[in-house]
Structure formats: C-alpha cells, structure tokens
Amino acid sequence: MALDFLAHPGSGAPSGRAAGGAVGPAPLALRQTFSRLGPEFLSDSPPQGLPEPRLRLVSEDAARLLGVRPPSPDDARDAEACASWAHSFSGNAAAADGSAISTVYAGHQFGNWAGQLGDGRAHLLGEAPAPDAAQACGHAWWEVQLKGAGRTPFSRHADGRAVLRSSLREFLCSEAMWHLGVPTTRALCLVDSDLPVRRERIESAAVVARLSPSFLRFGHFEHFSHSGRHEALRKLLDYTVARLQPEAAQAANPALALLSKVAAATAQLVARWQCVGFVHGVMNTDNMSMLGWTIDYGPFGFVDAFDPGYTPNTTDAYGRYAWARQPAVARWNLLALAQALLPLIGDEQAARDAVEEFAEHFMPAMRDGMQAKLGLGPARADDPDLVQDWIDLLAACRADWTVSHRQLAHWVAHPQAGAPAALRRQFAAWPQRLDDWLERLQRRLGELDAAQRAARAAAMLLANPCYVLRHHLGQAAIAQAQAGDFGAARRLQQVLRRPYEEQPGCEDLAEAPPADAGPPVLSCSS
C-alpha cells in the first residue's frame, strides 16, 4: 500500500517545510511481509478509522527514521499536510486500501494461561525501508502499526478503540524511553477525533501510529505451540530468525540460538527499566517483544517515592509486576517462551540453560547501571553492599528515585558544599542515615583528584536523568488535551527529548510530585 506523507526535502529546512514553501505530498510504499506466512497467522483487517481526524502530535525524531519530514500541527501553513497525515494515521486511508492486517497470538496474563488473544486494536499497515539501518538498531526496515483504529477479528468483546488519555500516555512515554536510552517501540504521531468511546466513562477516541522493526511477541510462539501446530511454529521460527536474528540460522539449533538471543536482550532491557525507575505494569507474555524492546504502554509508571513493591496497575492486586519483581517475571516469561519453543529445540535442559542466561546478562547489566548511577566506576568487592544500602535507604525514606540520583551527582561534584538541599529533603525522615551513607561514598571516591571527581560527576549526570514522564505531569497534559489544548503535551515531548540535560525554564518538570499526590494507580484501559 502507499500512504501520502510529506517527503523529506534535501535541504535542511525546518520541520514540515522546504525552503521556499510547503513540502508536497509523496507516497511512502509499505509492503506486507508477515502476510506471506499465510492466513493461520493473521487476518486481513481494514481499520475502521476515525471521523474528522486531527493530527495532534508528531515525533520529528521518529519521522526521520522513515525518511519523511512531518508537518507541524501548530503551523497554519501546514494545514493541508496535517489533514493528509490525519487521514493516513487515523486508519482512514488503510480502510480504503484494504491491505492492513492483524496478527494472532496467545499468552499468559498474570501468570495464567489466557488462550488465544491477538491484535485486538492494532492494525499492521506494512513496513518501510529504513534509510539508515543504524537508526533502526541494525534492521533494514520499520513496521508501521496503528493502535486504536477499531475492531479486528481478535477484539473479542472489545471495541478496538484507544482513548486520548491512553494514547497520549503511550506517545509521550515511548518517545521519552527512547531518549532515556531504553529500547522501545517508537511513536510517530497521535491523531484524535470527537468519536465517543466508553471506558470507565465516555471519552474521545485517538490513534497512535507506532514503529518497530518487529511487533512479534512471545505470545505469537505460544499460540502455535499450545495448539500443537508445530509446522506453523517452525514456519514462524524461520521467519523470525531470518528477520531478527539471521546469525541464528547458522546455529546447530536455530530455535535454541533465538531463545538465547531473546534472553540476553530481555535482560539488558529489564536492567535499564530498573535503573530509570520504570515499572511496565503488565508484563504478560503477550506484552513481551521478541526484539527485547519495550512494547505496549498501558498502566506503566515511573517510581517517584521509591517503593520496591510499587506497581501502577490496579488489576495487579498481589504486586506481581512490581519494580522489584520485574527481573523475576521476565525470567518466568522466558521460561514460557522456552516451553513454546521446546518442540523445535528438542532438549529441555538446553532450553532451561538458555533461559538461565538471563541472569548471566541481567546481573552485570544491573551492576554496571547502578555503578554508573552512583559514580562508583569499576566494581569493587564492597560495592554491592554500598549499592544495596543505598536502595534500602531510598525505600526507607520513600525518597524520589529520579531526584535523589540526580542530586547525588551534584554532591559528588562538590562534596565540600555538603548535600544539596534538594537531596536532603528526600531523606528528611533519616538525615543521619543519609550522612552516614554519604560518608561511605566519600571514602569510596576519596582517591579521586578534583579533575577525576568532576569527570565522575559528569558521567553520573549522563546516567541519571533530570526528566522522566512523571504521572502528575502526564495527567496535567491529558487534562489540557481533553479540553483541546496540546501545549503541555508538546512541552513535555520537547523536554523529554533531552532528559539528561537541565533545561532552563523547565525546573517544574524535574521536581518530585506534590507530597499529597500519591503513587499513580491506573487501570488497563490506561
């Protein structure tokens, strides 16, 4: 199929506009490769689209990955181009074209087998070549998918829609995570409409266009394995290996090699989640990517007042998906994937050993991440105790995860000035414990001269973001957007593009939430 975009001009003109005027529309050809697997893997699924769609948010960074230059929703001169993008990414263009598909998968949800699931509100438009494979993490294409464009054959009793509230959260967080350095699907744009959608209350509809080299999940393999369709399972394996891990095709056991690669990538991913204080909230196997990327932003949250047992999901009554349990759940999910691949692997112990590689990758990745966050440099024998005591202190004081680490970097740069007031406020309940721990850190760093200490502090600032997508900021942006004002959302989007830089005039976006805000709790409709 072909969608009308704004082609990127050869000049370095500002977003959405070539030198001398508006950029004319040019088709971007999308091809379907997954559909070649056959009808048992998918369903032709034309989107329902949106009535009178409006382009609200665009990621210039994500558009660049496709080699296109987007229009600006704020620029009246781009009105025609914005209408074209809204038409394409609401699903209206794909509805007329008829080549969109939705895929079938299964999964474990909260540890229980859920049976057949599938893309209940996602439509895969196809894939576009990546002009720069390095920007696609080595892949040669980007798949383009719409989320929220209406019912599919896998919607079950749902409407296939997404609401503005959840769509805005996904758009902002997927882009924020990318710039934090966390592998994730990308958000290209957000389109909304006045179409009413019923959730806990009546809300308005929206669609997010998202990009990934692949949207394959653990659940795709579970579906065919649990139903005993091993020929289809083999076909899916061959497709996945060829596209995502071509070197695994040369292994003696490609299925085992793929499992090993996924375990390693998932370990790196979860370590990064932990280090930035991100809680996914719904780590079901159908929400686990075969790429080892973050996918499906539902009831997620960044930890504010640190609680290892925090989960943002109101459905998660027992805290299965809490911050502290994410590594163990990831391993559990990998065991489910190993079970699904076992008919092709053939050796149960080898499959278990491949899953255990998760710990072999996660532990050093988590260690290195925390060493960087605390400015410790190469690990020493006593460092694990120092790191654990810091995490325990954060939990005891319910200190803000992001503020505490950022302010600690400032203290490392200038210890003679004492702990910054912003750091002390986080540990007001246990000031002596903070002083005791800082004294230990001072001894650990004592051999550094002034230049080395400054370099270490600068490195800490690159490991500890100033800005994350805090719940209260997202909610404020959502409230304004629901009233038709996307100014706060665009401000957040721009600031979150440079999360490790302190940006003048944005101090309010770096602060911990008000004391009475409480931890974010969200439903799966979020």
Mind telling me the catalytic residues?
A: 286
E strands present in 215-349: 278-279, 301-302
Instruction: Please state, as a whole number, how many other Cβ atoms lie within 10 Å of the Cβ of residue 111.
Output: 13
What are residue 43's DSSP bridge partners?
102
* The token pair that represents 486 in the structure block: 């996307």
* The residue to which tokens 């998932």 are assigned: 266
Dist. CA 252–CA 120, nearest whole Å:
36
Dist. CA 77–CA 353, nearest whole Å:
59
Taken as a whole, the chain contains a residue count of 526
Burial class (CB in 10 A: 0-12, 13-18, 19+), 515: exposed
Closest by CA to 164, choosing from 136, 202, 132, is 202
**Which runs of consecutive H residues, i.e. helices, occur in 301-347?**
326-345
* The token pair that represents 278 in the structure block: 């991100």
Dist. CA 460–CA 413, nearest whole Å:
10
**Which runs of consecutive H residues, i.e. helices, occur in 72-163?**
79-89, 92-97
CA distances from 301 to 127, 171, 248, 321, 395 (A): 30, 14, 35, 11, 17
Closest by CA to 477, choosing from 495, 489, 493, 467, is 489
